[in-house]
Amino acid sequence: MRFDWAEPSTFAPALDGVRAVYLVPPPAELEPMRFAAPFFAAARAAGVRRVVLLGSLIVLPDAPGVAELVAAVRSMPEPVVLRPSGFMQNLLGDHPLAVGCGSAASWSARPGTASSAGSTPRTSPRWRPGRSPIPRCPASTC
């Protein structure tokens, strides 16, 4: 199925029979609603109930369109807004964090930390508020 944010004619066919959408906003767009508003209209017309938005923990004060996108998601019958604090891509390749900190493959996790399988910061016995169990690079390199 073809979908293109810049071509609203692709929205209805992509939404046909769909009740839930995992929404990744248009990339590198500070005003996503110029693309997303027609998408939400098509989603409502198609009967979409749940919209799960992959957002960001970062709030951009000069980008009110991002807040409008969150509000549009929350206006749906079953809204979900995910705001992760980081992405694995930030630790790989040429991303500035990866370059400054070294490859994620070179990092190791201690048993019982968030970065080891089956554990989260909230359930880890070593996790304490204000202290992240996730590896951090020295401030001088990031």
Looking at 11-20, 59-68, 71-80, 132-141, which range is the least confident one? 132-141
22: burial class by Cβ within 10 Å (0-12, 13-18, 19+)?
Answer: exposed
pLDDT tens for residues 18-27? 999 999 988 7
Give CA–CA dist 111/98, Å, rounded: 23
Query: For the residues 86-107, what does the mean pLDDT come to?
Result: 64
* Residue 131 predicted with pLDDT over 70: no
Q: What fold does the segment set 1-85 form as a domain? A: Rossmann fold (3.40.50)
Q: CA end-to-end span of the chain, whole Å?
A: 40
Q: Is the pTM of this model over 0.95?
A: no
**pLDDT tens-digit profile of 37-77?**
999 999 999 999 999 998 877 666 777 788 899 999 999 99
Domain residue spans of the chain: 1-85, 87-142
Q: Which residue has the higher pLDDT, 121 or 136?
A: 136
Confidence of residue 132 (pLDDT cuts 50, 70, 90): very low
